[in-house]
């Protein structure tokens, strides 16, 4: 299967996106798909290789063997220049995850105080998690939740000499011991962000190995201090994910309804909108405006957070897709309100407001889009009123949209299952991971791959590499646990439906049919990387081995931004084979490349694998899984 290249003749593997792209072209609307080729023509090879730096006034500097400029003005070499730039990307990713975690912690506390429209939905998790962390569980449920929220906020800035109970609880003990031995055991995320950022200042850290070590420490603090802690807090408030059937793609939009869409990576505004929209008063308001009713629709990760926890009904209709669906979705002329939380809210959406008669608004203090004047900066204590106002704005927009804008909604709806997680899988397996171990030992499932991914156009059409690599993996009896925008790619493409069982190899088919599960398990958002890591740890603990010993690999086949890079770095710290595509901007540092692709195997057990051809990438992953099976004494 040859490497694919992006072309405006074929922008996406999803028919609905392809259809709407043609409308965008006809409407002469600037869009991501058309802007990509224009930038491709002027791409800088120095930047692509990580050999440029703009951090100080002695620059910009480039490394060029042709001119003899083999060091920056300050003396930094090519390896450190590339790794320092990567570390700054990792800092941005960790900071964003930490922001999400903080919002979850303060929402948990406000909910305990009765200041939000939410409730303590997962009481068992509240008490279990508190007991694991040594949080006092005496007194009322409110008292326990407040203490837990305070503890989790403390974890964000836990000091250098204070061990993390979250790491010690959820990571395999062999891995924790190795991290301590290698001085990779981190402080809280905010300290690691501080140290990593300060290390990137001019003339501070010019050693690529040292910078790489700081990235590894940062990633561990991010996964446990921000992702696991944050997701567990969200679970307590909104409910732990559970498998159930949901629906995806643009066909869930009905222009005869007031359609309120929430977008981004945060769950709480979406949850508040669903709860408020289910009230009879809000439905009546929409009907008085001439609509059939009021509906709430999820977009990208915020939508994913809600579909994995909420049942669909006539109000909450499901999830559209990942971030490259946004412009096509707005062009349907069926959206009345589009709320943008952090992150993945593109900066050039204002022209869509007038053209397609949609009201845009930011729903977090982080997001500001030029030309968008409505802002609902999320506050737990105010979100109920904010949600009501968003709905009322949507109703008023419907009055203006109806009859003025011709709607053109692609009539495609894909059904599938969302909401898999550690607890749900254990329940399906009878309370233990042993049945999963048994089918792996019997070679019915060769191994597992965690697909944690964005989506990009850099290595082919929208979602091509993600869907085709997944197709290759499952037909080789390798189960896929998916998260992030790549998860939505697979959901819309049908991989999380039971029909996809037929695409799997015979062994995986047998297991899927016996458990009534698809061959791709939707584990949620990019923030659920931590949830996948916890499941891998459960397997390792059950076998009394390290995570690096397992027939488990990771792929980010169409990663794009900074949150994906810190997830990838964690995979290396966790000791796993980690496939990345497209090639990260580090190729200009040969010693750095060697460290990440070869030398790291002897340090953490992890390694980077590169590749843009789905079948060849799958060959490499399958070979690694077979090696790990042999290492454990399992037959191939």
Q: Which residues are annotated as a binding site?
A: 44, 53, 56, 61, 74, 265, 344, 454, 485, 526
What's the token pair of residue 448? 């597992």
Q: Which of 321, 363, 316 is nearest to 342 (CA)?
A: 363
Task: Please list the alpha-helical segments (H only) found in 135-279.
Answer: 141-156, 165-170, 173-181, 189-199, 208-221, 229-238, 268-277
Size of the chain, expressed as the number of residues it contains: 636
Please give the annotated binding residues for [Ni-4Fe-4S] cluster, written as ranges. 265, 344, 454, 485, 526
* Bond into 376 cis (ω within 30): no
Task: Please list the alpha-helical segments (H only) found in 27-77.
Answer: 32-40, 45-48
At 479, give phi and psi (nearest 5°). Answer: -75, 145
**Of all helices (H) and strands (E), which one includes residue 294?**
strand 294-298
What's the token pair of residue 87? 């570390």
Angle between helices 300-307 and 485-492 (to 10 degrees): 70
In the block, tokens 């005496």 appear at 138
| C-alpha–C-alpha distance, residues 303 and 298, integer Å | 4
| C-alpha–C-alpha distance, residues 481 and 550, integer Å | 15
Cα dihedral 402, 404, 410, 411 sign: positive
Q: Which of 198, 221, 201, 200 is nearest to 97 (CA)?
A: 221
Q: Which of 301, 297, 352 is nearest to 323 (CA)?
A: 301
Q: Which of 290, 286, 318 is nearest to 302 (CA)?
A: 318
| C-alpha–C-alpha distance, residues 194 and 103, integer Å | 20
Cβ burial, residue 253 (10 Å; 0-12/13-18/19+): buried
Q: 3-state DSSP call for residue 87?
A: helix
CA 483 from centre of chain = 5
| C-alpha–C-alpha distance, residues 313 and 53, integer Å | 52
Residue 154's contacts (CB-CB under 8 Å, 6 or more residues apart) are 188
Please give the annotated binding residues for [4Fe-4S] cluster, written as ranges. 44, 53, 56, 61, 74
| C-alpha–C-alpha distance, residues 636 and 622, integer Å | 11
Residues paired with residue 608 on neighbouring β-strands, in sequence order? 578
Contact 232, 129 (CB under 8 A): yes
DSSP annotation string for 117-177: S-----HHHHHHHHHHHT----S-HHHHHHHHHHHHHHHHT--TTS--HHHHHHS-HHHHH
Residue 278's contacts (CB-CB under 8 Å, 6 or more residues apart) are 313, 315, 316
| C-alpha–C-alpha distance, residues 237 and 207, integer Å | 44
| C-alpha–C-alpha distance, residues 117 and 135, integer Å | 25
DSSP annotation string for 444-480: SS-EEEEEEE---STTSSBTHHHHHHHHHHHHTTEEE
Contact 223, 530 (CB under 8 A): yes
Angle between helices 229-238 and 300-307 (to 10 degrees): 50
């Amino acid at each position: 299967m040859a490497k694919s290249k992006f072309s405006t003749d074929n922008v996406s593997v999803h028919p609905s996106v392809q259809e709407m792209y043609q409308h965008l072209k006809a409407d002469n609307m600037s869009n991501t798909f058309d802007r990509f080729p224009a930038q491709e023509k002027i791409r800088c090879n120095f930047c692509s290789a990580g050999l440029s730096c703009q951090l100080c006034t002695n620059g910009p500097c480039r490394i060029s063997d042709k001119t003899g400029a083999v060091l920056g003005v300050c003396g930094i070499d090519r390896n450190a220049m590339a790794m320092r730039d990567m570390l700054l990307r990792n800092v941005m990713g960790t900071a964003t995850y930490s922001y999400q975690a903080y919002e979850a912690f303060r929402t948990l506390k406000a909910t305990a105080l009765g200041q939000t429209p939410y409730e303590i939905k997962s009481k068992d998790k509240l008490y279990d998690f508190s007991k694991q962390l040594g949080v006092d569980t005496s007194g009322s449920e409110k008292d326990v939740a407040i203490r837990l929220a305070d503890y989790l906020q403390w974890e964000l800035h836990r000091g250098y000499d204070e061990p993390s109970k979250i790491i010690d609880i959820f990571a395999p003990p062999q891995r924790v011991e190795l991290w301590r031995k290698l001085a990779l055991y981190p402080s809280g995320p905010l300290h690691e962000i501080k140290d990593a950022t300060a290390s990137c200042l001019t003339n501070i850290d010019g050693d690529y190995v040292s910078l790489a070590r700081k990235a590894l420490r940062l990633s561990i603090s991010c996964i446990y201090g921000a992702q696991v802690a944050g997701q567990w807090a969200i679970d307590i408030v909104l409910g732990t994910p559970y498998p159930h059937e949901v629906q995806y793609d643009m066909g869930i939009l009905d222009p005869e309804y007031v359609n309120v869409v929430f977008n981004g990576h945060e769950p709480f505004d979406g949850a508040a909108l669903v709860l408020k929209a289910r009230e009879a008063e809000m439905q009546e308001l929409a009907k008085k405006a001439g609509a059939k009713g009021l509906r709430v629709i999820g977009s990208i990760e915020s939508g994913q957070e809600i579909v994995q926890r909420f049942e669909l009904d006539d109000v909450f209709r499901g999830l559209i897709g990942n971030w490259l669906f946004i412009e096509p979705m707005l062009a349907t002329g069926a959206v009345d309100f589009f709320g943008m939380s952090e992150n993945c809210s593109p900066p050039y959406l204002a022209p869509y407001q007038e053209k397609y008669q949609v009201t845009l608004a930011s729903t977090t203090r982080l997001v500001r889009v030029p030309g968008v004047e409505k802002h609902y900066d999320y506050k737990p204590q105010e979100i109920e009123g904010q949600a009501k106002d968003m709905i009322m704005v949507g109703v008023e927009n419907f009055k203006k949209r109806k009859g003025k804008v011709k709607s053109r909604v692609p009539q495609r709806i894909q059904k599938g299952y969302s909401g898999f997680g550690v607890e749900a899988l254990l329940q399906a397996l009878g309370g233990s991971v042993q049945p999963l171990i048994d089918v792996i030992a019997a070679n019915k499932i060769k191994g597992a791959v965690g697909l944690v991914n964005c989506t990009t156009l850099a290595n082919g059409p929208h979602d091509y590499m993600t869907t085709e690599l997944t197709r290759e993996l499952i037909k080789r009896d390798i189960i896929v646990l998916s998260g992030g925008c790549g998860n939505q790619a697979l959901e819309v493409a049908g991989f999380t439906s039971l029909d996809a069982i037929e695409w799997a190899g015979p062994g995986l088919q047998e297991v899927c049919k016996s458990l009534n599960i698809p061959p791709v398990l939707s584990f949620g958002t990019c923030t659920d990387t931590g949830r996948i890591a916890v499941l891998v740890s459960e397997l390792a603990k059950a076998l009394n081995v390290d995570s690096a010993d397992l027939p488990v690999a990771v792929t980010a086949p169409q990663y794009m931004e900074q949150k994906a890079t810190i997830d990838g770095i964690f995979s290396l710290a966790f000791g796993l084979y980690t496939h990345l595509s497209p090639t990260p901007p580090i190729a200009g540092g040969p010693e750095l490349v060697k460290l990440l692709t070869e030398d790291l195997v002897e340090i953490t057990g992890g390694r980077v694998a590169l590749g843009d051809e789905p079948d060849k990438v799958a060959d490499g992953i399958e070979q690694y899984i077979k090696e790990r099976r042999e290492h454990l004494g399992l037959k191939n």
